[in-house]
Chain A
Amino acid sequence: MGDALLCVRGLKVGFPTVDGVVKASNAVDLTIQAGETLALLGETGSGKTVLGMAILRLLQPNTRIEGEILYRGRDLLSLPQEEMQKIRGREIAVVLQNSGTSLNPVLRVGDQIAEAITLHRGLKGAEAEAAAVELLERVRIADPARMAREYPHRFSGGMRERALIALALACSPSFLIADEPTRGLDAVTKHEILALFSEINRGRSVLFITHDIEAAATLATRVAVMYAGEIVEIGPVDAVLSSPAHPYTRGLLESLPARGMRPIPGSAPSLIAPPSGCRFFPRCPCSVGRCETEHPGLVPVGPGHCARCMLYD
């Protein structure tokens, strides 16, 4: 494949809990090209955030991780801590879900951004502060000079999300992981943030984790869909959204209020003891006999478009 920036191979992530190991990621393979935006859609709890955090190596220490995560050819999983720290600062940045908890509540927003700028770009004092205000302006926070002096709790949900994007941009990363960055934004603001992202993502790779199918459609070049710790469909954005191959993806699209709001019956399977065959089998309207016992692999269904389903074997 062309210019792979990031290449995830056979990634398995397990969290030990009192009831057993939660297998949040089951042999995930994923490649992100330089300059591309890949949208990651999928079920709540299917392992999207975990995948992003695994790439950044920000999972809690007792987590079991197997596989390879190659970034520019180097395996991030075997890098020493301090090397990883450098990559996290300068190369890969993240905009996190739960913005309420990822800004430091006792520091002024402008100071937090200035600190990151000092750390990554070497600007100091007034210069760094000015650059912070500039970043806040770039993410379209009204009255940026005044807001830079405010504490995060004074920001509304939408404003905090913008501040976080500014914080992530402080180090001019070449790879950005954004976890639901448009969550909690009103339609007009969301529109603006998406426009902002389509500026930011020029010349930069972005892993865009979202539940917002329209946002994925506007921003991404490719889409991956996750279900119960696995990628069940991946392909060019138009192909996946206009002719979805996997029954889960189809169900997801039909759940949209504008498309009838028909939820997929049943609930997500256990990740401690997942179904042994196809993980979607208990809820799948199209299942065939062997779906219950055989675990399907990802098979091609179109140009650059794959689905994990027996129907295409």
Chain B
Amino acid sequence: MIDVCDLKTYYSTGFLCRTEVRAVDGVSFGIKKGETLGLVGESGCGKTTLGRSLLRLIEPTGGRVVFDGTNITALSRKDLRRFRPRMQMIFQDAYASLNPRMRVRESITEPLRIHGLEDRAGIGRRVRELIEMVGLNEEHLNRRPYELSGGQNQRVVLARVLALEPEFIVADEPTAGLDVSVQAQILTLFRDLGRDYHTACLYISHDLGVVRAMSDRVAVMLKGRIVEIGPTADVLDRPCHSYTRRLVAASSADRGFSRPAPCPALPGSPVMVEVQSGHWVEAAAR
């Protein structure tokens, strides 16, 4: 569904002495139809930047993103617009991604119109369906973002995205700020999307418990690079890269889980090594 090859996105900062922040620094991976790839990593390692670059919400500095056979990094702005509804992103900060003046009803109607749904009754029905799907009710339809709690806004964003029935979703911590019961509801919803509509998904999260429940495969990012990628259970139960091991240890510390199992010794050159079928680790950092 989506194939990423050596993607790079740099930010340049500073007016006088220009420094380059390599937020995404040569990343390659693929996601199949109906598959969910979990993406974990330190705050500031470039997960959000990667997600935005995939959809060209930021212009990548280099590399290639192929979506359903089309190299979207080479498309003109105009051609890109046709692809927009098929690829959607759910942002980390729900409040910032909603128009503060728009009522919830309008926010959800807008993408339905883009999708070509015209008749009023049909739109009304679909809006009610979507709002219930994400666990809100009709009384929220007339509110504006500042009249809703953080978690409720996040659900509005989700309803907007679901309205477009995209084939690929980048979900940047979509359940941050939701209580765990609503989180469970929304995660189940996501899982059904993958299963019933074969939506491919890049799922960014800091919660390894959530990542474990959601993803078929997991990628671990460190300073703009993917340092480990593989089937979920392999990566989280037999982490090989030292950073993955720290991550797993930190998140299981409070629960008293056992330490990760030892992994095979790796050669010292900066390459990705396949330690098990489909489980790759960057070898240099060890």
Q: Interface 1/0s, chain A 273-313, versus B by CB < 8 A?
A: 00000000000000000000000000000000000000000
Q: How far is the CA of A191 from the CA of B208 in the complex (A)?
A: 13
Name the B residues within 8 Å of A154 (CB-CB): 13
Name the B residues within 8 Å of A185 (CB-CB): 43, 206
Q: How far is the CA of A129 from the CA of B152 in the complex (A)?
A: 38
B191 → chain A, closest Cβ, in Å?
A: 10
Q: How far is the CA of A75 from the CA of B209 in the complex (A)?
A: 43
A3 → chain B, closest Cβ, in Å?
A: 29
- Which of B41, B135, B150, B173 has most A Cβ within 10 Å? B150
B43–A261 touching, CB < 8 Å? no
A183–B44 touching, CB < 8 Å? no
A187–B180 touching, CB < 8 Å? no
Interface residues in A1-49 by Cβ distance below 8 A to B read 15, 17-19, 22, 41-46, 49
One of B58-66, B250-258, B274-282 contacting the partner = B250-258
A277 → chain B, closest Cβ, in Å?
A: 19
Binding site for B on A (CB under 8 A): 15, 17-19, 22, 41-46, 49, 97-98, 100-101, 150, 154-159, 180, 183-191, 211, 213-214, 217-218, 251-252, 255-258, 261-264, 267-268, 270, 272
B246–A270 touching, CB < 8 Å? no
8 Å CB contact of B142 from A19, A186, A268: A19
Closest to A190 in B: B206
8 Å CB contact of A17 from B147, B173, B206, B210: B147
> What is the total number of residues of chain B having a CB less than 8 Å from a CB of chain A?
54
A to B contact number (C-beta, < 8 Å): 142
B250–A191 touching, CB < 8 Å? yes
From known contacts A186-B42, A191-B250, infer whether A17 and B142 are also in contact, taking CB-CB under 8 Å: yes
B255–A214 touching, CB < 8 Å? yes
8 Å CB contact of B182 from A44, A100, A180, A190: A44
8 Å CB contact of B150 from A19, A98, A263: A98
Q: Interface 1/0s, chain B 128-156, versus A by CB < 8 A?
A: 00001001110100110001111110110
